[in-house]
Amino acid sequence: MKDNKKQSEGELFIADYLRSENIRFEIEKKIVNLSEDTKSFRSADFYLSDYDVYIEFYGRWNHSKAERERYREKKNIYSINKVPCVYLYPENLGIIDYCFSKRFVEVLVKKNKKKELFKYRLKRLILDRGSLFFWIFLSFIILFFGNINYKESQSLIILLIGVILFQLYRFFIGYKRFFLSTEYYR
């Protein structure tokens, strides 16, 4: 927690979002030994240990010029030290999935974390399209191992083949969405 202070509503919202996306995180992760920094350490709002990426929520960005300057200094220190960080602002919370995903992918690409990028995209694909594997599996089981009279059950067979084809189509659309139709996946 922040020096015995409670997390802000924005930070709680981000934590809930990360949990909903099954992304493990630590709160208030200390970053020590940063060069050109006047402070002995910095605390990042979140640390995503599976990806080695930090998240900073600039919740007080719109409060004052002094707050914005403090955030800019922190961002500059992170940049100098090549700390991989996703920056989120209050206005991003309404479109958190889009903003976080886009910036997270940008950070992973910039830091050349291909394995982590693939892992994240695959996780998104499975969360988004996971049920299709169940329907494909179930259809194959019924089609090949079910007690079906193939001459009398043509409509059932057509239905099962239709289910399989539709689920494969859904998989392709999800694959395209998370892997192919983006400039960040290489």
- Residue 113, pLDDT score: 93
Residues in the chain with pLDDT values less than 50:
1-4, 184-186
Q: How far apart are CA 132 and CA 143, in angstroms?
A: 16
Q: What pLDDT does 184 receive? A: 46
Give the pLDDT score at 140: 87
Task: Name all contacts of 32-38 with Cβ < 8 Å and 24+ positions apart.
Answer: 34/77, 34/78, 34/80, 34/81, 34/83, 35/80, 35/81, 36/77, 36/80, 36/81, 37/77, 37/81
Task: Report yes or no: 61 and 89 within 8 Å, Cβ to Cβ.
Answer: yes
136 and 164 Cβ atoms separated by less than 8 Å: yes
Query: Phi-psi bin for 75: left (phi > 0), alpha (psi -120 to 50), beta?
Result: alpha
For residue 128, the model assigns a pLDDT of 84
Q: What is the pLDDT of residue 182?
A: 58
Q: Specify the long-range contacts of residues 166-173, CB closer than 8 Å, at least 24 apart.
A: 167/132, 167/133, 167/135, 167/136, 167/139, 168/132, 168/136, 170/129, 170/132, 171/129, 171/132
Query: Packing angle between helix 9-20 and helix 96-110, nearest 10 degrees?
Result: 70
- Domains of the chain (ranges; CATH) run 9-112 (3.40.960.10), 130-180 (no CATH)
Rg of the chain taking only CA atoms, in angstroms: 23
The DSSP element (H or E) to which 131 belongs, if any, is helix 131-145
Rounded to two decimals, what is the model's pTM? 0.78
The answer to whether 7 and 1 are in contact (CB under 8 A) is: yes
Q: Which helix (H) or strand (E) holds 39?
A: none
